[in-house]
Amino acid sequence: MPQLSVDQSRLINPVLTTIAQGISQNDLVGNYLFPQVPVDLRGGTIITFGREHFMQYAGLERTPGSSTPRVQFGYSGSTYSLVDASIEGKMPMEIQQEGERAYGLDGAARALNGASRILQLRLEIAQATLATTLSNHLSTNRTTLSGTAQFSDFSGTSQPLTVIETAKETIRKGIGKRPNVGVMGPAVWASLKYHPVIKDYTKYTGREIATLAILSELTGIPNWYIGDAITFADDATTTSDVWGKDIVLAYTDTASVADQGAPTFGYTYNLNGYPMAEEPYFDRNAKSQFFPVTRCEAPVIAGQAAGYLIKAAVA
């Protein structure tokens, strides 16, 4: 294996970094609840804007010489701290095609693809855990279903549209906006699309089961997503759904400080320049090329009032 030249031994390879940034999985949905926001530092403070413009203030009507009411917008809210996560994709020398260059994009893409997917799944799990943990939501913005109230019960007791409407109104009363995103585990959708209450609305559409578009029409929530991601246990045979059996409703948006922000549920803070692919290197002992990939990020709940958790939506 040839030695690296001075040019090749740069710490960051811009071509490979571009490849790492361009890899994504269709079944990952966490960024819909926690949109990516670039930051320059690994730690900082979230500038928060409250409900000042919702308030009714006394003394707005002027009388000669009277004092004018004053209001301050924005304050330093909670802090965030980014986490670095790295992994190296391995490409054994034996499986390289004859004549392939040491830095051939095909080999690099294979190694980077696998490594990047692992880090992407790590973020998805962190986002799902944050969003589906009861204690991360206000006591008024969460509910746990059980028994015949769960959407998997078709006996006529469960009322999914009513539960969702209650969640919508709770968010609206908290931030002045209705949720625009809904994320559910696959087991929830497997029951919802066949639920008698939902099917009663869909029978006039000529469809036997509901679609996400129909669910959007029924609930008034424009964007619904199914968190299909799975993770394997250590035995590599047992799987579990990353998003479990829950539904998370939220209002998510991004806006600048100049715009006084948005009452969004959460963000994923991402350090500028990441994901990053370092220059690959050859390990003589392993007789393999290694492709390091690093992400530096952290999902955070920025506004609890903008989210609502329906825990154990199905049995």
pTM value is 0.83
Q: Give me the domains of the chain, ranges plus CATH numbers.
A: 14-48+79-311 (3.90.1690.10)
DSSP codes joined into one string, 241-257: ETTTT-EEEE------T
pLDDT digits 0-9 by tens, 36-63: 989 899 998 876 666 665 666 677 777 7
Cβ–Cβ under 8 Å, residues 12 and 21: no
Residue 74, Cβ neighbours under 10 Å: how many? 13
pLDDT digits 0-9 by tens, 186-238: 999 999 999 999 988 887 777 778 899 999 999 999 999 999 999 887 766 78
* Position 102 pLDDT exceeds 60: no
* Position 97 pLDDT exceeds 60: no
- Which helix (H) or strand (E) segment holds residue 144: the answer is strand 142-144
* Position 10 pLDDT exceeds 60: no
Residue where the block lists tokens 């000042």: 52
